[in-house]
Amino acid sequence: MADILIKNGYILTMDPDTGDLKKGEVAIENGRIIYVGLSYNGKADKIIDASGSVVMPGLVNTHNHAGMTLLRGYADDLPLAEWLEDYIWPVEAKLGPEEIYAGVRLACLEMIKSGTTTFADMYIHEQAAARAVEDCGMRAALSYGMIDFGDPERAESSLLKGRNFVKDFNGAANGRISVMYGPHAPHTCSQQFLQDVREQARKDDVKVHIHVLETEAELNQMKEKYGKCSVNMLHDIGFFDSDVLAAHCIWLSEGDMDILAETGVHVSHDPVSNMKTAAGIAPVPQLLEKGVNVSLSTDGCASNNNLDMFGVMKTAALLHKVNSMDLTVIDARKVLEMATVNGAKALGIEAGMIKEGYYGDLIVVDMKRPHLTPLYDVDSHLVYSARGSDVTTVLVDGKVLMENGQVLCMDEYEIMVEASKAAKKTDSQHLIDVLGLNDPSADQ
Amino acid sequence: MADILIKNGYILTMDPDTGDLKKGEVAIENGRIIYVGLSYNGKADKIIDASGSVVMPGLVNTHNHAGMTLLRGYADDLPLAEWLEDYIWPVEAKLGPEEIYAGVRLACLEMIKSGTTTFADMYIHEQAAARAVEDCGMRAALSYGMIDFGDPERAESSLLKGRNFVKDFNGAANGRISVMYGPHAPHTCSQQFLQDVREQARKDDVKVHIHVLETEAELNQMKEKYGKCSVNMLHDIGFFDSDVLAAHCIWLSEGDMDILAETGVHVSHDPVSNMKTAAGIAPVPQLLEKGVNVSLSTDGCASNNNLDMFGVMKTAALLHKVNSMDLTVIDARKVLEMATVNGAKALGIEAGMIKEGYYGDLIVVDMKRPHLTPLYDVDSHLVYSARGSDVTTVLVDGKVLMENGQVLCMDEYEIMVEASKAAKKTDSQHLIDVLGLNDPSADQ
């Protein structure tokens, strides 16, 4: 007997072997998909009716700093140095594990509501993020953000934090949590530190998550310091392998792209963040052409400013069309692949497709909405017309986290209150109290 | 006694004279705003509690082809010529007034739900659009799309259609409908036709809505035909004046921008459409710098593919930041101005601000949502984090069209059914029946 049977939906399997089904059924047992097809023969404990909806793999967001959700809209439209030095860093310094826990819970709530089932994260106090992920039922690949700025003592303590995190949380939450090593970036970490992390990751058989060439400033710094760019430096020290997830990858030369393709590095593309911070435009069509596995991500909320992967999908398509002045350069199906199949591949999890044996990580998107009417082409609507708020039901690991728009795995209002209180600790002066927390008559 | 009093909201007036109010009240009587301030002294027939919400001017979408909502997602990711010749034109030829009525009703429903209170439109069978606008309660500046392709007979019949439309609908729907002349574009209309339309518009004291330099192909055609670009040609025949609304304006030289600034032409910027069709990037920061009034728009649904002005606002900010590689080039407040104040100015209507004497065209945006938490800066959240689905209440002309997420001015399901049926008449083969219209057990 299956635990859950989803019926009457348009099944966007994203599995090239089976194709999509105009009207099909998906059965789930013990957290895994046990049937995808026209009609399931067995019984099920619970039936989900997906009439008029698309059933698709949950979206995979491969680069986030979930704790930064507390800094959503805290400082925008400012020059990068002023933004970091006068706003982000001073506030980050005030964030402790409890604030990060509240921030990541808020991020998870937002991601669940907009159809993301798995995310990759890199930030401070990451054990609090792990606790939040464990509590809410999502899947995540978490990394402790490590940085040494060339200081050997800081390198040692950073690596220790990273190693402890890996030890404590690898396979946690019944396997929903995987871990990665998270050296911040080639220009903020010394070469020695990067080598040490690389070696440790191989020893522990753990993947690596790193920022690469997000800004032209990084490119220039690297050239000055090493006489070569980040990609060449990392390649030369043997850092690159198919277990590396490199976020951003904007300032790439043709040769850099060849290195990424040859070494099997996965690239996480953050179009909304890259536009908002005026970092540049990653050469995604060329990377895909060369066979690099490119996935999609929101980046943290301080530079997006939300975690809606539907927005990221649309922006990814639009940006590369106009940047190449060729509207055929990327199509809706390719973008859907990046947000599902490619993301799961980058993180090494059996998800991103609706396929027998894969995790029961699925979402239901309601198509009976004015802005999704009429419906000629499901791929097109999901990428160009839908919003995160069209997601009605979310399953992770075969558990229903949201059903018909109701979040079941946490109390929405409580999460917003706790996040607002945590934000208050970092900068109460600028907060606007929409929840009525300062009103003595309000329920606290 | 006021008809409606809105209380407890954050009032984003967009009025530089009064500034915004952290907690204020707005009173409306006979369709006009009669009070904006901290506390209204009089009584009101109806109270709207906007606690935890932003009350702001309704969004103004200054370039749409609302009937094309029927073609949403019908054909995407195809080369322009194939898209137009094999898909859009053959289907458009099958659209009659009843189909356009159904399509515009759907467009209005979507716009109301996502916070747009006024739109400018140009399309075929525009009398059906006027009927839809009259029925639903929105405000609109409508134009019959006129085109002659250099054929004098077609010019005559086009102008006649345009003149009849102007006669029949100027000031219709209790003044909610204004009219414009809508010559399609400088490369699809002959110079003589453009001159005739211009003259007629001056005679009738009616504004003009036209596409200008959306594509590089237009620029090249104009140079070949006239030895100058569209802007210079139009300027030389005295077409430009402060009653002209020019959509797109992508392929502008410095001199073209000066002409637009000097003649007071209003520019409607369609960032999502321009990216999706790979048309190019309009030089918006430069236009603003030169004092041109730039407003925002979605364009038609065949090239967007939705009518969510929140998506357009975010994309506008992001696109110009990355295009100029300067994240300070445009900020959230400027984008909000473009979507409200500037739009109303382009259409010559007393809206776009919450100000005494202005129309009661307001929206309420719920900020008590996970993706809008915490709240440091209202402008930032509205542009970078909010979605059309965060709009809960919409007033036009002092009438409540939507309240707490419930559309009051039409039946949502009926509108979707009628639009789906109309789409069926144009291409039933490719339609996917999510509403169950082909299921004999479904309610028709």
pLDDT tens digits, residue range B53-99? 999 999 999 999 999 999 999 999 998 888 888 999 899 999 999 99
- Check if A116 contacts B (Cβ < 8 Å): no
Place of tokens 């209170």: B117
3-state secondary structure of B118: strand
Confidence category of residue A429, pLDDT binned at 50, 70, 90? confident
| Predicted complex ipTM | 0.97
Residue of B70, B314, B376 lying closest to A432 (CB–CB):
B376
Given a cut of 60, is residue A423 above it in pLDDT? yes
Alpha helix positions (H), B205-351 = 216-226, 230-236, 254-263, 271-276, 284-289, 309-324, 332-339, 341-347
CA angle, A164 then A169 then A175, to 5°: 160
B92 labelled ligand-binding:
yes
- Check if B373 contacts A (Cβ < 8 Å): yes
The pLDDT score that the predictor gives to residue B84 is 85
The pLDDT score that the predictor gives to residue B367 is 98
> Could you count the other beta carbons within 10 Å of the beta carbon of residue B255?
12
**How large a percentage of chain A has pLDDT more than 70?**
99
List pLDDT tens digits, range B241-257: 999 999 999 999 999 99
A276 contact residues in B (CB cutoff 8 A): 317-318, 321-322, 327, 384
| Tokens at B267, concatenated | 């520019």
* Average pLDDT value over all residues in chain B: 96
B105 and B131 Cβ atoms separated by less than 8 Å: no
Region(s) of chain B under CATH 3.20.20.140: 59-347
Determine the average pLDDT of the residues in A174-201: 98
Surface of B (294-323) touching A: CB under 8 A: 304-308, 311, 314-315, 317-319, 321-322
Q: Could A371 and B272 be called an inter-chain contact, meaning their C-beta atoms sit closer than 8 Å?
A: no
Phi-psi region of A281 (alpha: psi -120 to 50; beta: other; left: phi over 0): beta
Kindly provide the residue ranges of all beta strands, DSSP E only, lying in B88-234, ordered along the sequence. Answer: 116-123, 139-146, 177-183, 207-212
Distance CA B103, CA B107 (A): 6
Mutation site for A-interface testing, chosen from B373, B387, B439 by largest number of A Cβ within 10 Å = B373
A79 contact residues in B (CB cutoff 8 A): 327-328
CA nearest neighbour of A398 among A362, A366, A364, A365: A362
A296 and A268 Cβ atoms separated by less than 8 Å: yes
Confidence category of residue B430, pLDDT binned at 50, 70, 90? confident
A368 contact residues in B (CB cutoff 8 A): 416, 434-435
Cis peptide before A305 (omega within 30 of 0): yes
> Exposed (0-12), middle (13-18) or buried (19+): which is B16, by Cβ within 10 Å?
exposed
- Check if A380 contacts B (Cβ < 8 Å): yes
A181 and A166 Cβ atoms separated by less than 8 Å: yes
Region(s) of chain A under CATH 2.30.40.10: 2-57+354-407
Q: Could A385 and B306 be called an inter-chain contact, meaning their C-beta atoms sit closer than 8 Å?
A: yes
B2-57+354-407: CATH topology? Urease, subunit C; domain 1 (2.30.40)
List pLDDT tens digits, range A62-95: 999 999 999 999 999 998 888 888 999 899 999 9
The pLDDT score that the predictor gives to residue A48 is 98
Given a cut of 90, is residue A176 above it in pLDDT? yes
Scanning every residue of chain B, which has its alpha carbon at the shortest distance from the alpha carbon of A366? B434
Confidence category of residue B345, pLDDT binned at 50, 70, 90? very high
Residue of B321, B329, B385 lying closest to A73 (CB–CB):
B385
Distance CA B210, CA B208 (A): 7
List pLDDT tens digits, range A112-144: 999 999 999 999 999 999 999 999 999 999 999
* Average pLDDT value over all residues in chain A: 96
- Check if B380 contacts A (Cβ < 8 Å): yes
A280 contact residues in B (CB cutoff 8 A): 322, 325
A214 labelled ligand-binding:
yes
A63 labelled ligand-binding:
yes
Which residues lie across from B25 on neighbouring strands? B37
Determine the average pLDDT of the residues in B283-290: 98
Taking the CA of residue B326 and the nearest CA in chain A, the distance in Å comes to 6
Beta-carbon pairs below 8 A across chains A and B: 242
B333 labelled ligand-binding:
no
Among 3.40.50.2300, 3.90.1720.10, 3.40.50.720, 3.20.20.140, name the CATH number for the domain at B59-347: 3.20.20.140
Taking the CA of residue A384 and the nearest CA in chain B, the distance in Å comes to 5
A266 labelled ligand-binding:
no
A339 and A116 Cβ atoms separated by less than 8 Å: no
Taking the CA of residue B300 and the nearest CA in chain A, the distance in Å comes to 12
The pLDDT score that the predictor gives to residue B284 is 98
Taking the CA of residue A202 and the nearest CA in chain B, the distance in Å comes to 37
The pLDDT score that the predictor gives to residue A430 is 86
Q: Could B275 and A51 be called an inter-chain contact, meaning their C-beta atoms sit closer than 8 Å?
A: no
B206 and B180 Cβ atoms separated by less than 8 Å: yes
Radius of gyration of chain A (CA): 21
Confidence category of residue A266, pLDDT binned at 50, 70, 90? very high
The pLDDT score that the predictor gives to residue A208 is 98
Residue of A318, A388, A420 lying closest to B373 (CB–CB):
A420
B384 contact residues in A (CB cutoff 8 A): 73, 76, 276, 304-306
The pLDDT score that the predictor gives to residue A436 is 84
A299 labelled ligand-binding:
yes
Determine the average pLDDT of the residues in B171-195: 98
Determine the average pLDDT of the residues in B175-189: 98
Cis peptide before B305 (omega within 30 of 0): yes
Determine the average pLDDT of the residues in A338-355: 98
CA nearest neighbour of A242 among A269, A262, A265: A265
**How large a percentage of chain B has pLDDT more than 90?**
93
A163 labelled ligand-binding:
no
Q: Could B376 and A305 be called an inter-chain contact, meaning their C-beta atoms sit closer than 8 Å?
A: no
Q: Is the pTM of this model over 0.90?
A: yes
Question: What are phi and psi for residue B113, nearest 5 degrees?
Answer: -65, -25
Confidence category of residue A441, pLDDT binned at 50, 70, 90? low
Determine the average pLDDT of the residues in A375-387: 97
List pLDDT tens digits, range A201-246: 999 999 999 999 999 999 999 999 999 999 999 999 999 999 999 9
The pLDDT score that the predictor gives to residue B427 is 80
Distance CA A238, CA A234 (A): 6
The pLDDT score that the predictor gives to residue A443 is 42
Distance CA A135, CA A104 (A): 11
Surface of A (383-412) touching B: CB under 8 A: 384-385, 387-389, 412
Confidence category of residue B438, pLDDT binned at 50, 70, 90? confident
CA nearest neighbour of B211 among B12, B317, B63, B418: B63
Given a cut of 90, is residue B442 above it in pLDDT? no
Surface of B (225-254) touching A: CB under 8 A: none
Using the 8-state DSSP alphabet, how is residue B164 labeled?
Answer: H
C-alpha A163: how far from chain center? 22
| Tokens at B191, concatenated | 């110079």
Scanning every residue of chain A, which has its alpha carbon at the shortest distance from the alpha carbon of B326? A278
Determine the average pLDDT of the residues in B362-378: 97
B318 contact residues in A (CB cutoff 8 A): 272, 275-276, 315
Given a cut of 60, is residue B411 above it in pLDDT? yes
- Check if B74 contacts A (Cβ < 8 Å): yes
Determine the average pLDDT of the residues in B245-271: 98
CA nearest neighbour of B280 among B317, B318, B308, B252: B252
Given a cut of 60, is residue A269 above it in pLDDT? yes
